[in-house]
Amino acid sequence: MAMFTCPMHPNIKKEDEGICPECGMRLVPSKEKPKEFNKHEDRKTNVFKLRLLVSLIFSIPIVFYSDVAQKLIGYTAPAFPFSNYLIFLLASIVFFYGGWVFMSSAFREIKAKAPGMMTLISLAIITAYVYSVYALVMGQEKVLFWELATLITIMLLGHWIEMKAVSHSQSALKELSKLLPDKAELIKDGKTQIVLVQDLKVGDIFLVRPGGKIPADGVVVEGESEINESIVTGESKPVLKKVGDEVIAGTINGDGALKVKVTKIGENTFLAGVMRLIAEAQVSKSRLQMLSDKAAFLLTVLAVIVGTASLIVWSIIADLSFAITRMVAVLVIACPHALGLAIPLVSAISTTKAAQNGFLIKRKSALELARKIDIILFDKTGTLTKGEFGVDKIISVRPDEENLVLQYAYSVNYKSEHPIAKAIVKEAQNRGLEKIDVKDFQRLPGIGVKGKVHEKEIFVGSEVLLEKFKIEKPQEIKKIISELSSQGKTIIFVIENNNLLGAIALMDIIREEAKEAIKQIHNMGIKTAMITGDSEDVAKWVAKELGIDEYFARVMPHEKSEKVKMLQQKGLKVAMVGDGVNDAPALTQADVGIAIGAGTNVALESADIILVRNDPRDIVKIIKLSKMTYSKMIQNIFWAAGYNIVAIPSAAGVLADNGVFLDPAISALLMSASTIIVAFNAALLRTKKL
Ligand code: AMP
């Protein structure tokens, strides 16, 4: 049965999908390890280099004594007694020492019932070696030692280059983990003492000296300083932090000294969260990658079949040595080496590139899909607008009761986290209004709040409440309200025992970047839509201001995912952008769910891609990166596998009549060249601008 494990806590193992009890991250199938990344994990680059050097040096005399080189260049190698046995000895060293890398990995592949490239290479070199030893003992002239030695050397070279490329692309995670200092200056009883970061506890106060790194997430309790947060936000301008402001572990302090109280440690810090996401992204496979894994497997099977067939056919129509050479050449050329790298290399580079550009990719297949998006659905508040409301006007039904209207709204909303509630609380406090005790407080999601004040039932919320209580707006305020609404202002009604007390008009600010983002999205031929719990008027006004194609107003939180489904049923590929808890189901339902940074953890958990900065323009970058990544992957699959259409038949000797057949070493060269092209082509992605 498939087991599931946590990418960050491999000791956690469960029988079904779920969430890691330690960090809350989604569990992944434990078999689903990034193959190419793990393949070389336990092999130190230096040992590899030594094997490569030894094989290279020993191959030189082997080639020098080969009859092909002598014939080709036209010299006669000085003969000495048992020279062929010396060549045998050298080739054996290359085979056992250099070839060990492949044979031990092949053993692992076979044990894991996943024969692949290593199995093919091993099959090729073992066949060549066993045959040559047999030929030598039988006193036959044709041995395959030079082919064997050069093959191993070139393969080692290819792998060594690959290891360098892969370790480079994996460095993003390592770089991030390096950001955290290992020690912190704890302030205890007025004295400072150096402690290990892992010994910090929530509530501890630590000192950050000028230029120092912040060891844990916390709140400034003393001092003022500019902090470079570029690592987490991508924003290079330092941010001023004063008492009460939050600081993030891993960011770099400027010129001031700060005393910070720890709020989060270890696994719970922002940085740990980001690292978890990257680790999760690295194990998540894109669809193209699954396709290329399958292609690699098929190629292996094909190689064995064609190889065996050419061995049989050629040993009948020519001699055994020629037949074995053909088989070895086929096995080598078909090695799905480059294919195994084609997708992971591009993926690794694009994930890093995404992080550099302010977004984190949690699910790679979502990035792959982003290029096909037809419509982007935005949640209005907090995404297109700043979500920081300000009270614009208070209207009371009875004369001079504005402050009473606000006071009730304030008291009932005191415990609410909604941006509208925060604005009301702030305005009331600015006006010095007193809070009245509230009983039976209750949230009405997507509508508002209710509570008992002085034994009276007070409702504060949207127009839905008026309909619910069948309240008609009095003529004298109707006109003012409709005018304010048509200006894009959100209207909140305050109801006391089924009677309308008054209304509060609030104004949210449209993000300047949103306008630009919508324009750029339209330029890419993608449609836009907006979803909001707000009134029809406000939705219409904001949509018009931003040039959004379509809007859905007065949508209840639980209906958001229904709207996504509805668009999908029209045959559209939908991306959803949101930030709140009530966006989570819609984010999951969408083909591509994009959470906007500062939002809630729930939104982050359900999203496929996370915008670290709250900048909707980054969505355009996601689509651009998606297109770039896809075309690079397709190019790489071509470079990795396409050449086999010509190469396999040539290696098998189909064109032997015309004097065209690939030798094993030439096959190895071609195969390695394809790997290098693939690595190089992937690296080009790094230089592209988004
Ligand atoms: P939401 O779906 O959270 O954006 O809410 C939709 C609408 O419900 C808002 O535009 C407000 O009209 C109303 N609303 C939600 N929560 C509150 C609250 N705490 N106080 C007043 N009105 C609210």
What confidence tens digit (pLDDT) does each residue in 195-207 have? 988 788 899 999 9
- Report how far ligand 1's centroid is from the alpha carbon of 457 (Å): 18
In short, whether 411's Cβ falls inside 6 Å of ligand 1 is: no
Going by C-beta distance under 8 Å and a sequence separation of 6 or more, which residues neighbour residue 646? none
Pairwise pLDDT comparison (250 vs 4), residue with the higher score: 250
pLDDT for the residue numbered 423 = 94
In this predicted structure, what is the pLDDT of residue 10? 62
- The whole-number pLDDT of residue 37 equals 36
105 against 114, higher pLDDT: 105
How far apart are the C-alpha atoms of 278 and 8, rounded to whole Å?
A: 10
Kindly state the average pLDDT of the residues 397-416: 94
Q: Is 575 in the pocket of ligand 1 (CB under 6 A)?
A: no
Is the CB of 451 within 6 Å of ligand 1? no
Interval between CA 475 and ligand 1 midpoint (Å)? 24
Task: Please list the alpha-helical segments (H only) found in 170-269.
Answer: 171-178, 230-233
Write down the residue that tokens 């070389």 correspond to.
40
Out of 285-299, 351-365, 369-383, the most confident range is 369-383
Is the pLDDT assigned to residue 611 strictly greater than 80?
A: yes
pLDDT band at 60 (very low <50, low <70, confident <90, very high): very high
Distance 462 CA to ligand 1 centre (A): 6
Both tokens of 465, joined, read 């409440």
- What residue spans of 443-495 are helical by DSSP H? 464-468, 475-486
* 189 is annotated as an active-site residue: no
* pLDDT value, residue 162: 65
Out of 11-15, 490-494, 500-504, which region has the weakest mean confidence (pLDDT)?
A: 11-15
272-286 average pLDDT score: 64
Residue 141 has pLDDT above 80, yes or no: no
Does residue 432 have a pLDDT over 90? yes
Instruction: Tell me the two tokens of residue 21.
Output: 């009890």
- Enumerate the H helices of 142-268 as residue ranges: 145-169, 171-178, 230-233
Q: Does residue 33 surpass a pLDDT of 50?
A: no
Element (H, E) at 517: helix 512-523
Q: What is the enclosing helix (H) or strand (E) of 665?
A: helix 664-687
- Atom 4, ligand 1: residue with shortest CA distance: 533
Distance from C-alpha of 654 to C-alpha of 496, rounded to nearest angstrom = 91
DSSP structure string for 269-307: SHHHHHHHHHHHHHHSPPHHHHHHHHHHHHHHHHHHHHH
* Residues across the chain: 690
Asked whether the predicted pLDDT for residue 143 surpasses 80, the reply is yes
User: Residue 420: CB within 6 Å of ligand 1?
Assistant: yes
**Tokens at residue 512, please?**
């300047």
Q: Cα separations (Å) of 542 from 387, 510, 582, 615?
A: 13, 8, 20, 17
Lowest-pLDDT range of 111-120, 466-475, 636-645: 111-120
| Model confidence at 40: pLDDT above 60 | no
Ligand 1 midpoint to CA 556 (Å): 10
pLDDT tens digits, 547-586: 999 999 999 888 899 999 999 999 999 999 988 667 888 9
Closest by alpha carbon to 97, among 47, 60, 164? Answer: 47
Query: Measured from the CB, is residue 557 less than 6 Å from ligand 1?
Result: yes
Helices (H), 334-418: 337-356, 364-370, 402-413
Segment 238-245 mean pLDDT: 88
Mean pLDDT for all residues in the chain: 85
Task: Say if ligand 1 is within 6 A of residue 120 CB.
Answer: no
E-strand spans in 204-247?
205-208, 217-223, 225-228, 239-241, 246-247
> Which residue carries 């919508």 as its tokens?
518
Q: From the CB of residue 564, how many other CB atoms can be counted at a distance below 10 Å?
A: 26
* For residue 165, pLDDT beyond 70: no
**Binding site membership of 539 for ligand 1 (Cβ less than 6 Å):** no
Å from CA of 423 to ligand 1 middle: 12
Task: Locate the DSSP E strands across 24-112.
Answer: 28-29
Name the 3-class secondary structure at 499: strand
First vs last Cα of the chain: how many Å apart? 43
pLDDT at 36 over 80: no
Higher-confidence residue of 20 and 378: namely 378
| Residue 150: pLDDT over 80 | yes
Going from the Cα of 454 to the center of ligand 1, the distance in angstroms, rounded, reads 24
Probe target for ligand 1 pocket from 386, 414, 420, 424, with the most ligand atoms within 8 Å of CB: 420
State pTM to two decimals.
0.70
The protein residue with its alpha carbon nearest to ligand 1, atom 23, reads 448
Question: Which of 492, 493, 494 to mutate to test ligand 1, by most ligand atoms within 8 A of the CB atom?
Answer: 492
Atom of ligand 1 nearest to the CA of 533: 6
pLDDT at 168 over 90: no
% pLDDT > 70, the chain: 86
Pocket test for ligand 1, best of 379, 462, 491 (most atoms within 8 A of CB): 462
559 lines ligand 1 (CB under 6 A): no
Contacts of 36 (CB under 8 A, 6+ apart): 166, 340, 341, 344
Q: How many angstroms separate the alpha carbon of residue 596 from the centre of ligand 1?
A: 20
Q: Which range among 287-301, 396-410, 635-649 shows the weakest confidence by mean pLDDT?
A: 287-301
pLDDT at residue 93 greater than cutoff 90:
yes
d(CA 244, CA 587): 32
CA 218 to centroid of chain Cα atoms: 26
482, 484, 488, 489: CA torsion to nearest 10: -120
Distance of CA 252 to the CA centre of its chain: 24
- For residue 38, pLDDT over 60 is answered with no
Question: Which atom of ligand 1 lies closest to the CA of 557?
Answer: 2
Pairing of strands 13-14, 4-5: antiparallel
Residue 42 has pLDDT above 70, yes or no: no
User: According to the model, what pLDDT value does residue 39 have?
Assistant: 42
- Between 111-115, 186-190, 229-233, the lowest mean confidence (pLDDT) is in 229-233
Flag whether pLDDT at 283 surpasses 70.
Answer: no
Nearest-angstrom CA–CA distance, 577 and 650: 52
With tokens 């300047």, the residue in question is 512
Q: Which of 204, 293, 379, 537 is catalytic?
A: 379
Is the per-residue pLDDT at 20 higher than 90? no
In percent, how much of the chain has pLDDT > 90?
41
Which of 230-234, 608-612, 615-619 is predicted most confidently?
Answer: 615-619
Q: Which two tokens stand for residue 194?
A: 């150096």
Beta-strand ranges (E) seen in 387-526 are 390-396, 438-444, 448-453, 456-461, 490-496, 499-507
Q: What is the pLDDT of residue 600?
A: 54
- Read off the pLDDT of each residue in 292-303 and give the average, rounded to a whole number: 81
What is the spatial distance between Cα 566 and Cα 244, in angstroms, rounded to a whole number? Answer: 44
